[in-house]
Chains A and B, each alone.
Chain A
Amino acid sequence: MLRLEALHLTQGDYTLTADLSIESGARVAVIGPSGAGKSTLLDLIAGFQMPDSGRVLWNGQDLAPIPPGARPVSLIFQDNNLFPHLTVAQNVGLGLRPDLKLDAAAKKAVLRSLERVGLAGLGGRKPAQLSGGQRGRVALARVLLRARPLLLLDEPFAALGPALRSEMLMLVGDLAAETGATMLMVSHDPRDAAAMADQTITVFGGRVDPPRDTATLLSDPPPALRGYLG
């Protein structure tokens, strides 16, 4: 279970507060207007920012002393998910060892995860030689290989067209289901929440509300959300 315990972060005149729990294996969307603090919330969980007070707990363990790379977290960013100077296989392999010193078993695992996302045989290419959708799949192959229990996505695949994007999101859902990962996805689009997430967290003006059932939330939105949805 992911628990955000009385989290409090102030940056200039902006304050973010959160106090909530997310069940293991849940799929949660995080929606709200830009600048409300969605990405900051993800940064706090991933370890890129530290709260002024409060704790981030995973299964009861305080994550504060753990650097980003060692947290039980896999990340998909908006862009720059791949190193352009490394091959597809190297980019995926980084999920196993950050120094890329891979033994035979590890290399085999890289090939398997590439196969799983439908990129068999493309391991030797550079990201520039792939389509946008394929690049997204490479990032997912790495997520699969890292097998961390918490998957954070920050407005993923924003550069893809709508059809490709929903296809990628389906794949993300499948992979999360396979590995039993808890999924937290930031989006500004309520349709993503409806399609992907059984629960939704809203962030307005730095206030993070606990997750609610997506369907009920969207069918009967509170005033702030109603204003945002238009």
Chain B
Amino acid sequence: MAQRAQPLGAGIRAGAVVAALVLLLTLGTLGAVFARAEGVVALGPGDWAALRFTLVQATLSAAFSVVLAIPVARALARRAFFGRSALVTLLGAPFILPVIVAILGLLAVFGRNGLLNQGLQILGVAPLSIYGLQGVVLAHVFFNLPLATRLILQGWQSIPAERFRLAASLGFGARDVNRWLERPMLRTVLPGAFVVIFVVCLTSFAVALTLGGGPGATTVELAIYQAFRFEFDLGRAALLSLVQFALSALAAVLAVWVAVPAFGGAGLDRVPQRWDAGGLACRSADTLWITLAALFLILPLWMVVARGLPAIPQLPTSVLTAAIRSLLVAVSSAFLMLGLALPLAIARVQLGRGPAGAALEVTGALSIAASPLVIGTGLFIVIFPLTDPVALALPVTALVNAVMSLPFAMRVLVPALREAEAAYGRLADSLGMSGLARLRLLVLPRLRRPIGFATGLAAALSMGDLGVIALFADPAQATLPLQLYRLMAAYQMDQAAGAALLLLALSLLLFWIFDRGGRGHAAT
């Protein structure tokens, strides 16, 4: 096609700079870790155990999440009930829920003195332990069951309502509908959902840090942290980084091989009329699944709120200063992310199809499989000869968090920008709008909503992040999640509950403010 020969515009150049920066942070840091590693070290038995555990827990977590999500999604797909849309919204919440807060809630329900074990004690059954493999998988299912449910629900809603009418007119029962409509849909949706969750669980750090540990339940990420923080064994950290990178590459291949579903989220509100699911058994099963899923999600969060509220007035200054520090990091991280995502998205859309555009696409998605611990270790090694890395703990955290939320932002921004360019790009071209004028008068106003959403997501993710900060910070610089972790480690559970509620509230508040800012006085 003989498109106008466009000179390499400022947009594409800025995008290339950002892409280079992202590559440097994700791949360059890996190189830095390597350069510092002294001698070739072989993987020890502990490292092999970590690799095995990482794969086993990710497989189990993904399998449980997906299998349990099927009946929940089916129930949501065919039942309209009071509170349904609230529940669907709640299914999106774990995404911006700080991991450490959820873990505290899970401990309150499934922990040694939690609700479940109290119940078991009354029945005279031996208590269950939340630590180790089962705890790690439980926490991952808590986070990913909602995601799986949403993805599968999307699949259900992609079946046109007319198909169900046709099925009814042919006299299909629930079993026939399942066979001819639902199973074919599940076959296309489930592999993607499984892969997404498997990939997310491969880089699990905070969950393994709090509920795992020890020889039997250490992930590769956790092993990197331990090699770096406790042994300062860079050779081992480097080798483990390579293992983690190989895992990420495996994940990337899987994601390309299996079509990974997009997080659409649109139109989950409607329930098509169904004629095949009216039976009593069917109705009670759906009710049971919805109730169980709702309890599983709400109870831990409720416990955080219930235990945290009384502790809020007595929160120590250390928690409050940590909260202020976290807010600063989160807001800077959100704007930093936007500064990276916008040029990348603009260049991506301008380049269109072709190898250069595809390369940018991959770069933008790279950090979804990259390990923040590897990036952090690499940055530490690079910064160490220049200045005290601990002094830079907060800026580095903001930067790494920004890069980690880049893939999610790109998923929202690129389609929106493409749409804006399709609708108004020619008009802008015909008026000679380019460079900053185009950014100011076309891109920013048209992308206000997705920008608000993406920055809100980035701010909330950064607010709750317990990853790279754990590598760098000394006690004087703890962010709120790290402070919360320390309180938990010191068994100061009352203060921890208060801090967790504060963290939860601040994360949701940040997301809400940014998202709201994007919606403000509907400017269409």
Whether the Cβ atoms of B437 and A50 lie closer than 8 Å is no
Give Cα distance in the complex from A74 to B437, angstroms. 19
How many A-B contacts are there with CB distance less than 8 Å?
Answer: 81
Cβ-closest chain A residue relative to B4: A50
Q: Counting CB contacts under 8 A, is A95 at the interface?
A: yes
Return chain B residues, CB-CB under 8 Å to A51: 2
With A46-B430, A80-B427, A84-B524 as known contacts, state yes or no: A99 contacts B4, CB within 8 Å: no
Query: How many B residues touch A, CB cutoff 8 Å?
Result: 27
A83 interface residue (CB < 8 Å to B)? yes
- Cβ-based interface call for B424 (8 A): yes
> Separation in Å of the A152 CB from the closest CB of chain B?
9
With contacts A47-B4, A48-B426, A85-B445 known, is A69 near B523, CB below 8 A?
Answer: no
In the complex, the answer to whether B524 meets A80 with C-beta atoms within 8 Å is no
Q: A85, B431: Cβ atoms under 8 Å?
A: no
Residue of A nearest to B6 (CB): A67
Q: Mark A77-108, 1 if CB is under 8 A from B, else 0.
A: 10011011110001000110011100000000
Q: A51-B2, A100-B437, A100-B441 are in contact. Are A83 and B432 (CB under 8 A)?
A: no
Contact of A68 with B by CB under 8 A = yes
Contact B437 A70 (CB under 8 A): no
Q: A9's closest neighbor in chain B, by CB?
A: B2
Instruction: Name which residue of chain A comes closest to B7, CB basis.
Output: A67
Residues of A40-67 at the interface with B, using a CB-CB cut-off of 8 Å, are 46-52, 67
Whole-angstrom distance between the Cβ of B9 and the nearest chain A Cβ: 11
> Are A94 and B1 within 8 A (Cβ)?
no
Q: Is B442 in contact with chain A by the CB < 8 A criterion? A: yes
Shortest Cβ distance from B502 into chain A, in angstroms? Answer: 37
| Cβ A94 vs Cβ B426 within 8 A | no
Binary interface encoding of chain B residues 240-261 relative to chain A, with 1 for a CB under 8 A from any of its CBs, else 0: 0000000000000000000000
A38 to chain B, nearest CB (A): 16
- The answer, yes or no, to whether A28 is at the interface (CB within 8 Å) is no
Q: Which of A48, A52, A128 is B524 in contact with, Cβ under 8 Å?
A: A128
Interface residues of B in 424-441 (CB under 8 A from A): 424, 426-434, 436-438, 440-441
Determine chain A's interface SS by DSSP, over half rule: loop
Chain B CB within 8 A of A140 CB: no
Query: At the interface, yes or no: A131 with Cβ under 8 Å from chain B?
Result: no
Within 8 Å CB of A49, what residues of B? 1-4
B442 & A11 in contact (Cβ 8 Å cutoff): no
Contact of A98 among B2, B3, B432, B523 (CB under 8 A): B432
Distance in Å: Cβ of B519 to nearest Cβ of chain A: 13
Chain B 487-524 near chain A by CB (<8 Å), digits 1 or 0: 00000000000000000000000000000000000011
- Alpha-carbon separation in the docked complex, A137 to B95 (Å): 47
Q: Give A51 to B440 CA distance when docked, in angstroms.
A: 32
B446 within 8 A of partner (CB) = yes
Residue contact B434 to A98, C-beta cutoff 8 Å? yes
Question: CA–CA, A83 to B434, complex, Å?
Answer: 15
Q: Determine whether the beta carbon of A48 is less than 8 Å from that of B429.
A: yes
Map CB proximity to A onto B75-119 as digits: 1 under 8 Å, 0 otherwise.
Answer: 000000000000000000000000000000000000000000000
Instruction: Check if B5 is an interface residue, CB within 8 A of chain A.
Output: yes
A73 within 8 A of B: yes
B423 contacts chain A at the CB level, 8 A cutoff: yes
Tell me which residues from 97 to 147 in chain A have a Cβ below 8 Å from any Cβ of chain B.
98-100, 126, 128
Task: Please tell me if the beta carbons of A83 and B427 are within 8 angstroms of each other in the complex.
Answer: yes
- Which residues of chain A are within 8 angstroms of B434 by Cβ–Cβ distance? 69, 98
Quick one: given A49-B4, A86-B445, are A77 and B429 in contact (CB under 8 Å)?
no
| Chain A: minimal CB distance from B426 (Å) | 6
Contact call B433/A11, Cβ cutoff below 8 A: no
Q: B194 to chain A: closest CB distance in Å?
A: 39
Bound CA–CA A90/B437 (angstroms): 13
Question: Taking the nearest CB of chain A, how far is it from the CB of B1, in angstroms?
Answer: 6
Partner of B430 from A52, A73, A85 at Cβ < 8 Å: A73
Cα-based distance from A126 to B521 in the complex (angstroms)? 12
Q: Is the CB of B3 within 8 A of A50?
A: yes
- With known contacts A47-B4, A48-B4, A99-B436, A81–B427 Cβ distance under 8 A: yes
Whether, in the assembled complex, A196 has its beta carbon less than 8 Å from a beta carbon of chain B, the answer is: no
Q: For A67, what are the chain B residues with a Cβ–Cβ distance below 8 Å? A: 4, 429, 432
How long is the Cα–Cα vector from A86 to B3 in the complex, in angstroms? 29
Is there an interface contact between A94 and B441, defined as CB atoms closer than 8 Å? Answer: yes
Determine whether the beta carbon of B426 is less than 8 Å from that of A98: no
| A83 touching B5 in the complex, CB below 8 Å, given contacts A69-B429, A75-B430, A99-B437 | no
- Measured CB to CB, the nearest residue on chain B to A127 is B524
Q: B3 touching A94 by the CB < 8 A rule?
A: no
Are A77 and B426 in contact, with the CB atoms below 8 A? yes
The CA of A75 and the CA of B5, in the complex, are separated in Å by: 20
Interface centre among B429, B440, B523 (most CB of A within 10 A): B429
A99 contact set on B, CB distance < 8 A: 433, 436-437, 440-441
Q: Are B426 and A69 in contact (CB under 8 A)?
A: no
Q: Within the complex, which residue of B430, B436, B437, B524 is in contact with A68, where a contact is CB–CB below 8 Å?
A: B430
Question: Nearest-CB distance from B67 to chain A (Å)?
Answer: 46
Closest to A49 in B: B2
Flag if A70 contacts B432 (CB, 8 Å): yes
Nearest CB of B to A78, in Å: 11
Nearest CB of chain A from residue B114's CB, rounded to whole Å = 51
Question: Are A80 and B4 interface neighbours, CB within 8 A?
Answer: no
Q: Would A69 and B433 be within 8 Å (CB), given that A11-B1, A47-B4 are in contact?
A: yes
Q: List residues of chain A with CB within 8 A of the CB of B523.
A: 84-85, 126
Which parts of B406-456 form the interface with A (CB within 8 Å)? 423-424, 426-434, 436-438, 440-442, 445-446, 448
Query: Which 7 A-B pairs give the minimum distances between C-beta atoms?
Result: A69-B432, A99-B437, A85-B445, A98-B433, A98-B432, A68-B429, A75-B430
Cβ contacts A to B, 5 pairs, < 8 Å: A9-B2, A11-B2, A48-B4, A67-B429, A80-B427
**Chain B residues in the interface with A (C-beta under 8 A):** 1-5, 423-424, 426-434, 436-438, 440-442, 445-446, 448, 523-524
Q: A50-B3, A85-B445 are in contact. List 10 more A-B contacts (CB 8 A).
A: A49-B1, A50-B2, A69-B433, A75-B426, A80-B427, A84-B524, A85-B523, A85-B524, A98-B431, A98-B437
